[in-house]
Amino acid sequence: MPENCDRKKMQNENPQNDSEKSENKENVVFIGNKPLVNYIRGVVTQFNKWDASEVTIKSRGKFISKAVDVAEVARRNLQGKNVIVKGVQISSESFEANGKKMNISTMDITLAKH
């Protein structure tokens, strides 16, 4: 996978950067190499602190299973707020690396207040 790929950006994304999230109302958490609890905290913060009506968890490749774990744990932690899985979107992205065409799977999980 090329170093300039979006995956690098996803891994460096900080789901807890409060000033960035207050300006950016997209309510997106990108899953990467950080510990699971960091991403769960990011999702819960979006609902509790920023009063988001929905949060999207984005993942690619090997991080897809971690995204499912984040969504389920966050949903259970937010049961009092009636947060549900609103939708799951899957796709794949194509890119070229070392002259070879490669595909990588992507998944977006949207959690929303019911």
| pLDDT of 5 | 44
CB 103 within 8 Å of CB 93: yes
Looking at the chain, the whole-number percentage of residues with pLDDT higher than 70 is: 78
Domain that holds residue 93: 6-113
Name the pTM for this structure.
0.77
Is 99 a member of any domain? yes
Split at pLDDT 50, 70, 90, the class of 26 is confident
Q: Which residue has the tokens 């905290």?
A: 41
Q: What's the chain's average pLDDT?
A: 84
Is 1 a member of any domain? no
| Digit-coded pLDDT (tens) for 49-101 | 999 999 999 999 999 999 999 999 999 999 999 999 999 999 999 999 899 99
Which residue stretches of the chain are H helix? Answer: 6-12, 18-23, 36-48, 64-77
The tokens for 14 are 């900080």
Query: How many angstroms separate the first and last alpha carbons of the chain?
Result: 39
CB 106 within 8 Å of CB 91: yes
Q: Domain count of the chain? A: 1
Q: What mean pLDDT do residues 3-7 have?
A: 42
